[in-house]
Structure formats: C-alpha cells, structure tokens
Chains A and B, each alone.
Chain A
C-alpha cells in the first residue's frame, strides 16, 4: 500500500532529526571519558535506530520494518547487558570452579 503524503512527510522529517541525533550521540561515544559513558551513548544510538526503523515503516507503508525494529531492540538490549557484564567481571559467562 502506498503511504499517504502527510504521513510520509512527517516520517521524513522525523528520519532527518533522529539521524542527526544519532550523529550527536556519536560525539559522546568518541569523547566520553569513561567506558560506561560510551556504553550509555551506544545504548541511546540503538534506541534511536529502533525509532528510525519504525519511521521507515511509516514512510514506506511496509509493516515488515516494525519487526525489524523489534529485532534491533533485542540486539541493543543484549549488547548493553553484555558490555556491562564484561566491563565488571572481565568475562561474559561466569565460570564456576
């Protein structure tokens, strides 16, 4: 189905703004003084990319990209938890001796 022009315009504007926000979060990824700063910024970028996928689904009118955004949300959460555990423990899966 073809997207309506009003919805497509709003989705386009949202895509431009959220992409610019991803670039601004990249500043904190590069500059951030500690490792958790970078992890927080990457988590924010992951959530922004989820929003970008939903906006792209609104722009093109294809519902498939909502599923893509769900997968991206799962990957972002897993990567955040993994890096948090790795920073603390020095290992991701703890071995029991």
Chain B
C-alpha cells in the first residue's frame, strides 16, 4: 500500500523519534537537579514523540488516522511545556534548592526582570 519512499520516510522518522526519546531519558537519569531533569525531559521528549506522530501521519495519510496524528503534535506542543512549568513552580514553592548561583527570576533583581538566566534552567 505504501510506496518505498513512504516506507523509508517512516523508518527515518521512527529512528529520529527513538533517538530523541533516548536522549531525554539519559538526561533524566544523569542530570543533578529537578529543574535540569525537567529541562532534559520536556524538550527532547516532545520532539521525539512529535517525530513518531509524523511517522503515523505519513503512514496513514491525511484521510484516515493521519489527522489525529497532527492534532496529537499540536496537543503535545501545548501541554508538555505547561506541565513542565507547573512542576517547576511547585518544586520552587516546596523549596527544592537550586544549583550554585542560580536564582529564581523574580528574585534575581529588584528593578526589572533579569533576562540572563545563568543556565536557562527554569520555566522550560
């Protein structure tokens, strides 16, 4: 049913998605802090699952189950950063310490917000 170009596209997308999921899990296991782990899981996991959803779209086509795949991509890009942001906020409210000289952006400077996070660790 699917041509050879379509099949190899599906194989490549599944390989890319599996690679990104692997990177996210390695980051979850090896990084030292809650915030760094969340930074490591949210973005690569979103990209990997979006690539696998794209493989589903290529396989099923726009007529059948391809449209739910695209809706799944949009849904992931909306919900995963929201969930990660809520976990990071609750972790800061609980009092999980930061690494080194990292501070919460609201407390960093009194006048105006600080743009330069040292590691870009928060709110991702």
Residues in A lying within 8 Å of B, measured CB to CB: 1, 4, 6-7, 10-11, 13-14, 17-18, 21, 24-25, 27-28, 34-37, 39-41, 43-44, 47-48, 50-51, 54-55, 57-58, 63-64, 66-67, 69-70, 73-74, 76-77, 80-81, 84-85, 87-88
Complex contacts, A6 vs chain B, CB 8 Å: 7-8, 11
Which chain A residue lies CB-closest to B75? A73
Binds A, one of B54-62, B100-108, B110-118: B54-62
* Structural contact, B60 and A66, CB atoms closer than 8 A: yes
B29 close to A17 (CB less than 8 A): no
B: residues with CB less than 8 A from A are 1-2, 7-8, 10-11, 14-15, 17-18, 21-22, 24-25, 28-29, 34, 37-38, 41, 45-46, 48-49, 52-53, 55-56, 59-60, 64-65, 68-69, 71-72, 75-76, 79-80, 82-84, 86-91, 93-94, 96
Chain B contact residues, majority secondary structure: helix
* Interface contact tally, CB-CB below 8 A: 160
Residues A67 and B68 in contact, CB atoms below 8 Å apart: yes
Instruction: State the main secondary structure of chain A at its contact with B.
Output: helix
Contact A17 B18 (CB under 8 A): yes
